[in-house]
Amino acid sequence: MDDARGKWRHYPGYLLFRGVCGAFRLLPERCAYRLAEGLSALVCLADRRHRKIARANLEIAFGDTKTRREKRAIVRGAYRNLALTAVEFILTPKLRRRREPFSRIVGLPILSEAFRGGKGVILLISHFGNWETMATCTPEIEGLIAAIGRPLPNPLIYREVERLRAMNNLKPMRKKWAVREIMNLLRDNRGVAILADQYAGRYAPFVPFFGRPVSTHPAPALLALKTGAAVIPAFDVRVRRGRHEVHVCPPIEIPATGDRAADVAEGCARINRVIEEWVRRRPDHWLWMARRWRRKKKPGER
């Protein structure tokens, strides 16, 4: 009985999600974009908590190098980018039917060369531009990239999210078995997309990001050291409504001196430097609303 109740309690949220998706898909594409932009402005005004986090993050990152007006514009841009990313993800079935490509890869030879190495590719992505649909309508990498997904509280919604990700040329992976799957994929000379700009917990390496130490996920560096896979950063840039460029960057060399802890920390620092460079280029493309700069807790501190 409890299992049945647990299952049914997910349906209201799922039906609401499907209703919103259906409504956006009925709209002409231009109207869907305009509605998303309008909603982003309202959410930015209403979401005081995350707006405060974003402004605090901008103070850490840019200090006095940007004016208050510029920082407010960046926050609005971040909310706009998040809304457009969500709507483009919802519109995946329509975008797949387009004659013209949704996104264009810049630097494809770098990616091709990395795969020729035969040891797989760790595609380093971040919450920059539209990270969810980077592979949409880019047949050059179809079937080559898998993505780790964090399960949502509502399994019915998560099932739909996985379906849309699969339509975006991404092979979803369940986090529970991610390490085993990643190792198998890299051995088969496939690619794995890993988000590298999230807070990684108190035990992860704390390395500089905009001049301050932040907890940085060690997985890309550890995997590269273990498998020899190339670490390739990629960033999605909005060119105009419904048009994107995916910029593939040169591989990040992870040092292999034999001191595993030092090599991983240096690898994480190099990863952060590349992400920082792109965030400085287009700060409105990054997700400033997350608490990226959390201080390192002392031993025994909760």
| pLDDT tens by residue, 222-235 | 999 999 999 999 99
What is the structure's pLDDT at 193? 85
Q: Which residue has the higher pLDDT, 281 or 146?
A: 281
Query: By C-alpha distance, which of 146, 150, 142, 126 is closest to 233?
Result: 126
What does the angle CA 286 – CA 287 – CA 289 come to, to the nearest 5 degrees?
A: 145
**pTM of the shown model:** 0.89
Q: Provide the pLDDT confidence category of residue 243 given band limits of 50, 70 and 90.
A: confident
The average pLDDT across 8-12 equals 83
Give the pLDDT mean for 89-110. 84
pLDDT in the model for residue 97: 79
Q: For residue 301, name the pLDDT band (cuts at 50, 70, 90).
A: low
What confidence tens digit (pLDDT) does each residue in 178-204 have?
778 888 889 989 888 888 998 988 889
pLDDT on residue 135 = 60
- Pick from 203, 201, 219: nearest CA to 271: 219
Given a cut of 50, whether residue 2 has pLDDT beyond it is no
Q: In this predicted model, which residue has the larger pLDDT, 220 or 145?
A: 220
Helix H or strand E segment including 96: helix 92-96
What is the predicted pLDDT for the residue at 171?
Answer: 66
Q: Given a cut of 50, is residue 1 above it in pLDDT?
A: no
Query: What values do phi and psi take at 143, rounded to 5?
Result: 80, 0
Q: Has residue 6 got a pLDDT over 70? A: no
Predicted confidence at residue 300, as pLDDT, reads 55
pLDDT at 65 over 80: yes
Confidence category of residue 84, pLDDT binned at 50, 70, 90? very high
- pLDDT tens column, 102-158: 778 899 899 889 999 999 999 899 999 998 877 654 555 555 566 666 677 888 888
Q: Is the pLDDT of residue 55 over 50?
A: yes
Cβ contacts of 147-155, under 8 Å, gap ≥ 24: 147/171, 147/172, 147/173, 147/192, 147/193, 148/173, 148/175, 148/178, 148/182, 148/192, 148/193, 148/194, 148/195, 149/173, 149/174, 149/175, 150/175, 151/175, 154/10, 154/13, 154/14, 154/17, 155/10
pLDDT, position 261 = 95
pLDDT above 90: percentage of residues in the chain:
61
What integer best gives the mean pLDDT of the chain?
87
| Predicted pLDDT at 141 | 58
pLDDT at 236: 94
Q: Is the pLDDT of residue 208 over 60?
A: yes
200 class by beta-carbon count within 10 Å (0-12 exposed, 13-18 middle, 19+ buried): middle
Question: Per-residue confidence at 166, pLDDT binned at 50, 70, 90?
Answer: confident
